[in-house]
Structure formats: structure tokens, C-alpha cells
Amino acid sequence: MKSGFNMSRRKKELADFHRESILKIAETLFEKNGVESTSMNDIAREAEYSKATLYVYFKNKEEIINCIILQSMKLLYDRIQASTQTEKDLLARYNSICHELTTYCDTYPLYFQILIQEINVDVNNPDTPPVFQEIFELGEKINGLIDIFIKDGISQGIFRSDIRIPETVFFFWASLSGIILMASQKKNYIEQFMNTTKQDFLKYSFDTLINSILKENKNV
Amino acid sequence: MKSGFNMSRRKKELADFHRESILKIAETLFEKNGVESTSMNDIAREAEYSKATLYVYFKNKEEIINCIILQSMKLLYDRIQASTQTEKDLLARYNSICHELTTYCDTYPLYFQILIQEINVDVNNPDTPPVFQEIFELGEKINGLIDIFIKDGISQGIFRSDIRIPETVFFFWASLSGIILMASQKKNYIEQFMNTTKQDFLKYSFDTLINSILKENKNV
Amino acid sequence: MKSGFNMSRRKKELADFHRESILKIAETLFEKNGVESTSMNDIAREAEYSKATLYVYFKNKEEIINCIILQSMKLLYDRIQASTQTEKDLLARYNSICHELTTYCDTYPLYFQILIQEINVDVNNPDTPPVFQEIFELGEKINGLIDIFIKDGISQGIFRSDIRIPETVFFFWASLSGIILMASQKKNYIEQFMNTTKQDFLKYSFDTLINSILKENKNV
Amino acid sequence: MKSGFNMSRRKKELADFHRESILKIAETLFEKNGVESTSMNDIAREAEYSKATLYVYFKNKEEIINCIILQSMKLLYDRIQASTQTEKDLLARYNSICHELTTYCDTYPLYFQILIQEINVDVNNPDTPPVFQEIFELGEKINGLIDIFIKDGISQGIFRSDIRIPETVFFFWASLSGIILMASQKKNYIEQFMNTTKQDFLKYSFDTLINSILKENKNV
DNA sequence: CATGAATGAGAATTCATTCAT
DNA sequence: AATGAATGAATTCTCATTCAT
């Protein structure tokens, strides 16, 4: 006979398994058809649960959405952190960050939309659901990673010393998001009309972008 | 009795008048409440037409949306063209373009979302509604304006001569969109946590961005 | 060709016709199965409208309920007023009132439940829907009819002169409601176990009740 | 090892304990939120049983409702009996009954609604659940108490001797229910518009009602 | 015995769209 | 041309109930 501890752990794991299954399907559908156009019915059908079961594991549709956002941000944070810790060379770290973001955008295309669209969370409002707090804090942690990267570049004499750090962090976030998102969504256009590959366009853009804060102009 | 020609012209003008009225209201509502949350009912009520009349002038809701996209792109094109023709100095033209895009994003916030999100149009598919063709062609015309701007910069010896033009056009589109959109949607965050204004952040970002293709590094 | 006036009148009449049809069916179902157990679906099916059409004529289920209450109260008021104006003899008027209430309870059994159950309306709260105001005012008007009846009885020297009028009005409302409702709902019991008819029981009860304020005890 | 008898007795007692716990919670919730708005989930959560366990002790929601009706009727019976046995003076007994009913209505507001609303039980139909039989029989026993009270009043020469006993029992039931229920539900109205207290109104009404069968008219 | 898990059925409501006039 | 009327289909979410363990 199993101990109570194991019992409850197994149960929790099972519940988590179901939550994950639902989230995975939901995310796929959100990406394919958009969040608003994806109904709980769609999720239920695709995930092969009954509609009512969805409500056993999630309070409502909004909770599903928020969980996906948080989850994907966690993953992004882990990846960026891992990649920046491994690489020692600064530009290699930059490429690594860009690569992670790109991979990330391919895996969770929804994320970038939300990253950009999501209305500012009012962190001080006590009515803001705790998930939003978590999302906000995670966002700050990711910012922190970029922040360290910029500071390292300055102290190594690679980046110009006159750049304003918080603005530059945000500037990189914004530009990289724009570049990656557009490359991802206009892939066909790029390949048809620009006579190059998406990958090549991204490489070119990342190099051009970093150029904007390098101490010495580099030929791309 | 009027000639057929006059009849049809008058009719056409009247029809255009109605279409415009509807589009104007629809756009206001789309911006205020979002596209999905705006119902045909809302549009009809606000525009003071009957719901059925909407379907006299537009095939369906989608056509209304597409018309708004096209219309707002036309406006953007006109503005960028006007501003690039007036200004002679290259960096003044850059600032002008950035300014137009920013104003534009504030006036038609919806546009940028769509600009970035809208699925790639398959221009060769005969089922693609003609409005998409128009949207695509207008996009190309706007690209053309940026293209000229880049080429002018190179020939004036202001931009590096080794840059790849089509990629750079796209790169600017993508980066500027990202920056402007994020500045617009995270205004509160910027002002609370970065201790600066949205306007200042934008200025800093635009300057940093152009730096990436300038022949000589400038201190921002 | 009809004038605008006639057109709109006809339309209004048609709309009223539909509203009435729906209300009639709704009332029947409410009576048969209870208000909460009657779904909009049930009403739609029975009334032979589509569910969506119900929402063309009524804002929501609550509006249907409130309309039925108001409508039935209007009818009750009219009936009581008519009967008290026709009859000159006081006790004949009393019988008439009782008879109207009884007929009424048979026709709109739902009404008595609501009359008794309906939570007190906060007349001063501006959020209270206007229908409730109307319901409340109509209730007051009906009270007014009983009030006049009591006062007439006193001034004619038929009722005791020491009775407190507002309390007595309410006392009669309450007792008559209780009697009529119970006679209506326990009809079988009365006829099986009391060896009399519902009608006879009602007559006996009404006579006994009025006895309570008569100046001279009457043998029933 | 315990004998089968003890086992089963202990089991039965335990089962009864659980049933009581559930019923107690259910009643509280029914009163607070209404029967239809109280879900099995609510009951389970509040009673700290699992939803499924509810179905171990009760066939379905309806059985819970019926048990509560029966239970509350039992309580009412006990109270009326106790109060009529203690008091010797007839009018004191009347006041006592009225007081018990009032207290009862305040404690179990639900009861009166059901007392009045509940559809006639077809006692002869074998499909009628046994709990309805019990409810019916208990109703008869309570009637019996009123019956004795009336008969005592007649034999003591306090009530008129020409009254018809079974009708009068029912008449009192109905009137008292109506009065108490209305006083309870229209408390605010009474206090605002009648310039008196609920308690005072009740006292006045009970006195007026009994007047209807008193041999000698009393001034209230 | 007790229950976690699962669900079919159904609730109110909304919406884009059609059609007869 | 313009529209009032009507609706099928869909949406989110709830609930009483069952069943394997």
C-alpha cells in the first residue's frame, strides 16, 4: 500500500499532466487560430477532454491564457539564462540570445504577440490576479539578463560607454521582437521578394542592430 | 431624366459616401474595443444604419476590416511621402519618417498590430480577395519610399555603402514597428520604471537605430 | 401607400403581438414548471420562435419575468377596480374582491407566489429597474382599493371603528393570499379529506375572515 | 468480532450522523441562497464531503430537499405540541402557536414557501417516494394539534359553536401562513410605509384573525 | 465506505448573416 | 436602396450525476 505522501504526489502529478495536456493543445490552437477565435469547445475537442473537464483543471478561459503566457516566459527566461551563462565571449552571447529568441518565437509564436500587446499590468492594484504579478516579475528578470549583458559589454569596452542602459535594454527588446516577429510572419515575402532566406535575413538584422551600440563600426 | 452615366456616377458617389461613413465608425470602434469585441450591431448602431444596410455596402465583417487596413495604409503612405518630399536633409527625413510612424501608431493603434500580425498574403492565389492585393501593393509602395531613403543615404555618403538594401528596408520596418508599438503599449512602464518620457525614449531609440547604418559612429 | 404613421403603428402592433405571444407562453411554462426550471429554450420551443428571437423582443429572461408580473398586476387592479365600482353593497363588494382574487389566482397562479415572495424593492435605489418601480406603484394602487373598501366599511358602520387601517389592509392581503393560494394548491386534499368543495371552503373562509372586523358577529 | 446486530446498528448510526451533517448544511445554504441556486457542489464543499459522497447518503438532490422539508416539519410539530401542552389558557395557547410559527418562519424561511407551494402529493400513487408519505402524515399530525385547539375553544365556550372544524383548521393554517410569510418578506415595507414594527403588525393581525371565531367580539 | 475524476446535457446570451418587403 | 425581423450556430460556463478505484 502506498503512503499518503506518494498517493498525493501521484495525484498531483496526474493533475499536472492533464493541465499540461490542455495547455499544450490550447497553445497550438491559439497560435493557429488566434486566442479569441479559439473556443473552449475547440480546446476540449482537440485535447480529447469533455468541455466540463476543462473547467475542472482551469477556472476559466482566461486562466488557460495566463498560464500559457507565464509558462512560455519561464521557458524563455531559462533559455536565455542558460545561453548567457555558457558563452563567455560577448558577441557569442549576443548571437546566443538572438538565437534563443528566434527559436522561441518559432516554438511559441503567440508569445511575442502577447509580449508586445499585453496591456501594462497595474502591479499595485490588489485586484490584479497573482498570475499577472508573476508575469510581470518574470519579465523584469528577463530584462535583468539583458541588463547584465549590456553592462558587461560596456565594461569590456565593446559597447559605447555613453549609452543609457535601461533605455537600451528596452530598445533591444523592442527591436529584436519586431525583427523576429516580422521575419517569422513574412517568411514567404522575404524569401520570394528579397532573394534570401529567413535565417540569413535574421543574421543580417541582428548584426546590423548590435552595430548601433558597438564602439567601433564593424562591417557587417 | 438624367443620363445613365450621371446616374451611375451619382450613385457611385453616394455609395462611396456610405462606405466611408461606415468605415469611419467601424475604425473608431475597432480601436476603442478591439476588432473581435466590436459587433456588426455596434457598428450599425453607432453609424446609424440598420444592420442589414451594412451588408449592402460590405460583403461581410472581414471586408470592413480589410478596407480599414487598406485605408489606413494609404494614409500612412501619403504622410511618409509628403514628409520625405518636403525635407531635404537626410537625417531630418529620417526623423520625419519616424515621427509620422509614431503619430500614425497613436492615431491608428490597430494598424501596427495588423501590419505585424497579418498572415502572409498569397499574391498568386486567385481566391485571395482583391483588397489583399491592394494591401500588398501599397505595402510595396511604402517599402519603396524607405528604399529611396536608404539609397539616398548611401549616395550621399551618410550610410555605409556595404549595407544590403532590401534587407535594410525590412530591418527598419521591423525595428521601428517594434519600438513604436512597445513604446505605445508600455508607456506606463517606461515612465514609471525608466524615469523618462515615452517621447524621450523614442527619440533615443530612433537615434540609436539609425546609428547602426551610419558611416561614422555618432554619439547619441 | 400607407402613411408613416400607420406603418409604424402597424409595426408596433406586430411587435406587441410577438411580445404578448412570448409572454403568454412563458407564463404558462413558469406556472407549470416554475420560473427557474423554465429555460429560454423551453420558451422558444413552445412559442415557436428561435431562441435568438426571444432576445429581439426582451432584453433577457429577467425582463420576461418582470413583464409578466407587471402585466398580471395590471389585470388584477383593473378587475378589482371594476368589481368595486359596480357593486354598491359593501359585503357584495367584499365577495366580489374575493372572487376576483380567486379567479385571478386560478388564471395566474404564478402571481401569488411572486406577490408573496418578491423581495422588497428598494424604491430609492436608482439602480432598481423601472419595471420594479411600476410594479411597486401598482401594488400601492391595489392597496389603495382595499384601503377605500375598509374606510367605506367603517363609515357605513359595518366594520369596527377601532381597526387600524393600514395594518388591516395588509392583514387582508396576507390572509386572502394565504387562503386562496392554499385552496388552489391543496385542492385535492380539501376535497378528499374535508368532504367539501374548494369553492365551498373558500366561501367559508372568506366569510370567517371578514367576520374578524365586522361590528356585529354574524353566524357564518 | 462484533455481532452483526451491533455492526449494523453502529453503521446505521454513523450513516445517520452523516445524513444529518449534510442536511444541516444543505438547509443553511438553501435558506441563504435559495434551493435552485444551491448546487450539490456548494453543499459538498460546505459540508466537507466529496460530491460523490452526497450520493452515498442521498439518492439525489430532490431527496435532500424532501428530507429537509420533513425534518423541519418534525421540528415544527414538536414545538407546537410542546407549547400547546404547557399552556392551559386557550388564548395563551393561540399566542403560543402563533409565536412558534413566527419563530419558525424566521428560522426556516424556506419551510413556509414549500408548505404553501409544494404540489399536492398523490398519497395513493405507489410511485410517490415514501418521504412524501411521511411529510403528508406529519402534516396531518400538525393539523391534529390545531384541531384539538379549535375543539377545546368550542367546548370552553370561547369560540363560536357553529364553526366547521376541518375548514377552520385549514383556514387558520392558510391565513397564518400568509400573514407570517408576508410580514417576514415585506418587513421593510411595513416599517417604512406603515409606521409600525413587524412584531406589532403580527400581534395586531393574530388578534384580528382569532376575532373571526370568537364568540364575543373583542376590541383589539 | 469514500471519493477524485469525468462528463453529457443544458443554461443564458451573442453574433454574423439572410431575406422578404 | 434600405431595413426590420428572424435565426442557426456558437460562446462561456454550470450542474447533477456516475463510476472506477
- CA-based nearest residue in chain A for residue B198: A167
The C-alpha cell at A27 is 497553445
DSSP summary character for residue A1? -
Nucleotide nearest to D55 (CA to C1'): F17
pLDDT tens figures, D15-59: 899 999 999 999 889 888 888 889 999 999 999 999 999 999 999
Cβ of residue B161 closer than 8 Å to a chain A Cβ: no
pLDDT for res C126: 62
Same domain, C39 and C147: no
Choose the weakest-confidence range: B82-86, B121-125, C86-90.
Answer: B121-125
Q: Do chains B and A touch (3 or more CB pairs under 8 A)?
A: yes
Decide if B73 contacts B135 (C-beta within 8 A).
Answer: yes
Of B143, D84, C190, residue with least CA distance to A186: B143
Q: Residue B16, class by beta-carbon neighbours within 10 Å (0-12 exposed, 13-18 middle, 19+ buried)?
A: exposed
Contacts for B45 with CB less than 8 Å, ≥ 6 apart: none
Choose between D192 and B152: higher pLDDT: B152
CB pair distance less than 8 Å for C194 and D162: no
B164 pLDDT band, cuts 50/70/90, is very high
User: How far does the CA of C121 sit from the C1' of F9, in Å?
Assistant: 38
Same domain, C88 and C129: yes
Q: Which residue is nearest to nucleotide F19 (CA to C1')?
A: D52
pLDDT tens figures, C101-111: 999 888 777 77
Nucleotide nearest to D50 (CA to C1'): E3
Decide if A22 contacts A43 (C-beta within 8 A).
Answer: yes
HEC-encoded secondary structure of chain B: CCCHHHHHHHHHHHHHHHHHHHHHHHHHHHHHHCCCCCCHHHHHHHHCCCHHHHHHHCCCHHHHHHHHHHHHHHHHHHHHHHHHHHCCCHHHHHHHHHHHHHHHHHHCHHHHHHHHHCCCCCCCCCCCCHHHHHHHHHHHHHHHHHHHHHHHHHHCCCECCCCCHHHHHHHHHHHHHHHHHHHHHCHHHHHHHCCCCHHHHHHHHHHHHHHCCECCCCCC
**Strongest mean pLDDT among B128-142, C158-172, C183-197:** C158-172
Check which CATH number belongs to the domain holding A26 and give it. 1.10.10.60
Residue whose C-alpha cell is 485571395: B128
The C-alpha cell at A198 is 529567413
Nucleotides of F under 7 A from a protein CB: 1-20
Domain boundary among C58, C85, C106: C58
Neighboring chain A residues of B162 at a CB cutoff of 8 Å? 219-220
Nucleotide nearest to B44 (CA to C1'): F3
- CA-based nearest residue in chain C for residue D161: C219
Nucleotide nearest to C15 (CA to C1'): F5
Chains contacting B (3 or more CB pairs within 8 Å): A
Choose the weakest-confidence range: A114-123, B61-70, C174-183.
Answer: A114-123
Measured CA angle at C144 (ends C140, C150), to 5 deg: 140
Of A75, A74, A70, residue with least CA distance to A118: A70
CB pair distance less than 8 Å for C160 and D185: no
Choose between A218 and C78: higher pLDDT: C78
Choose between C209 and D5: higher pLDDT: C209
Nearest to C201 among D117, D170, D205 (CB): D170
The Cα B36–Cα B119 span in angstroms is: 17
Q: Which of C102, C140, C205 to mutate to test the interface with D (most CBs of D within 10 A)?
A: C205
User: How far does the CA of A66 sit from the C1' of F19, in Å?
Assistant: 33
CB pair distance less than 8 Å for D211 and C208: no
How many separate domains does chain D show? 2
Choose between B86 and B197: higher pLDDT: B197
Which one-letter amino acid corresponds to residue B72? S
Q: Do chains C and D touch (3 or more CB pairs under 8 A)?
A: yes
Domain boundary among D58, D87, D107: D58
CB pair distance less than 8 Å for C186 and D120: yes
**Inter-helix orientation angle D90-107/D198-211, to 10°:** 140
Whether the predicted pLDDT of B220 surpasses 70: no
Neighboring chain A residues of B201 at a CB cutoff of 8 Å? 167, 170-171
Nucleotide nearest to B15 (CA to C1'): F1
- CA-based nearest residue in chain A for residue B209: A212
Cβ of residue B158 closer than 8 Å to a chain A Cβ: no
Same domain, A45 and A146: no
Neighbour tally for D55: CB within 10 Å: 14
Chains contacting A (3 or more CB pairs within 8 Å): B
- CB < 8 Å & 24+ apart, contacts of C99-103: C100/C76, C101/C76, C101/C176, C101/C177, C101/C180, C102/C180, C102/C183, C102/C202, C103/C79
Same domain, B148 and B202: yes
- CA-based nearest residue in chain C for residue D119: C185
Neighboring chain C residues of D182 at a CB cutoff of 8 Å? 116, 170, 173-174, 177
pLDDT tens figures, C184-220: 888 888 888 888 999 999 999 999 999 999 987 554 4
Same domain, C167 and C210: yes
pLDDT for res A219: 46
Same domain, C50 and C107: no
Cβ of residue A179 closer than 8 Å to a chain B Cβ: yes
Q: How far is A115 from chain B (nearest CA, A)?
A: 9
**Strongest mean pLDDT among C125-134, C184-193, D160-169:** D160-169
Nucleotides of E under 7 A from a protein CB: 1-20
The Cα C213–Cα C154 span in angstroms is: 10
Whether D55 CB is under 7 Å from strand F? yes
User: How far does the CA of D68 sit from the C1' of E7, in Å?
Assistant: 29
A4 pLDDT band, cuts 50/70/90, is very low
Whether the predicted pLDDT of D120 surpasses 70: no
CB pair distance less than 8 Å for A177 and B178: yes
Of A59, A37, A58, A41, residue with least CA distance to A50: A41
Whether the predicted pLDDT of D220 surpasses 50: no
CB pair distance less than 8 Å for B120 and A193: no
User: How far does the CA of C53 sit from the C1' of F6, in Å?
Assistant: 6
The Cα A1–Cα A5 span in angstroms is: 11
Choose between A219 and B23: higher pLDDT: B23
Choose the weakest-confidence range: A19-28, A108-117, B28-37, D167-176.
Answer: A108-117
Whether the predicted pLDDT of B196 surpasses 80: yes
Neighbour tally for B27: CB within 10 Å: 23
Choose the weakest-confidence range: A197-211, C71-85, C117-131, C157-171.
Answer: C117-131
A151 pLDDT band, cuts 50/70/90, is very high
- CA-based nearest residue in chain C for residue D172: C179
Same domain, A90 and A23: no
Domain boundary among D34, D58, D82: D58
Same domain, D188 and D219: yes
- The arithmetic mean of pLDDT across residues D55-83, rounded, is 90
Same domain, A44 and A97: no
Choose between D2 and B55: higher pLDDT: B55
Whether B82 CB is under 7 Å from strand F? no
Whether the predicted pLDDT of A187 surpasses 90: no
Same domain, D85 and D108: yes
Whether the predicted pLDDT of B194 surpasses 80: yes
Q: Which of residues 58-117 of A touch strand F (CB under 7 A)?
A: 60-62
> Could you give the residue ranges of the DSSP H alpha helices within chain C?
4-33, 40-47, 51-57, 61-86, 90-107, 109-117, 130-155, 165-185, 187-193, 198-211
Whether the predicted pLDDT of B3 surpasses 70: no
How much is the mean pLDDT over chain D?
85
Of A84, A83, A99, A68, residue with least CA distance to A176: A99
The C-alpha cell at B59 is 460583403
Q: List the domain range (segments joined by +) for residue D190.
A: 67-220
Check which CATH number belongs to the domain holding A93 and give it. 1.10.357.10
Whether A1 CB is under 7 Å from strand F? no
**Beta pairing partners, A214:** A159
Q: Which residue is nearest to nucleotide F18 (CA to C1')?
A: D52
B127 pLDDT band, cuts 50/70/90, is low
Same domain, A188 and A116: yes
pLDDT for res B201: 97
Residue whose C-alpha cell is 408548505: D115
Of D30, D69, D25, D31, residue with least CA distance to D51: D25
The Cα B68–Cα B111 span in angstroms is: 9
A122 pLDDT band, cuts 50/70/90, is low
pLDDT for res C125: 63
Choose the weakest-confidence range: A107-111, C2-6, C170-174.
Answer: C2-6
Q: Which residue is nearest to nucleotide F12 (CA to C1')?
A: A40
Whether the predicted pLDDT of D115 surpasses 70: no
> Could you give the residue ranges of the DSSP H alpha helices within chain D?
4-33, 40-47, 51-57, 61-86, 90-107, 109-117, 130-155, 165-185, 187-193, 198-211
Q: How far is C135 from chain D (nearest CA, A)?
A: 14
pLDDT for res B113: 66
Interfacial A residues in 68-127 facing B (CB < 8 Å): 113, 116-120
**Beta pairing partners, D16:** none
A6 pLDDT band, cuts 50/70/90, is very low
Whether A55 CB is under 7 Å from strand F? yes
**Inter-helix orientation angle B198-211/B90-107, to 10°:** 140
Neighbour tally for B31: CB within 10 Å: 16
Choose between B158 and D5: higher pLDDT: B158
Residue D186 phi, psi (nearest 5): -110, 25
Reported as half-sphere exposure (CB side, CA atoms, 13 A), residue D85 has a value of: 6
Distances (CA, A) of C72 to C23, C68, C142, C165: 11, 6, 12, 26
Which one-letter amino acid corresponds to residue A144? G
User: How far does the CA of D51 sit from the C1' of E3, in Å?
Assistant: 8
Same domain, C51 and C84: no
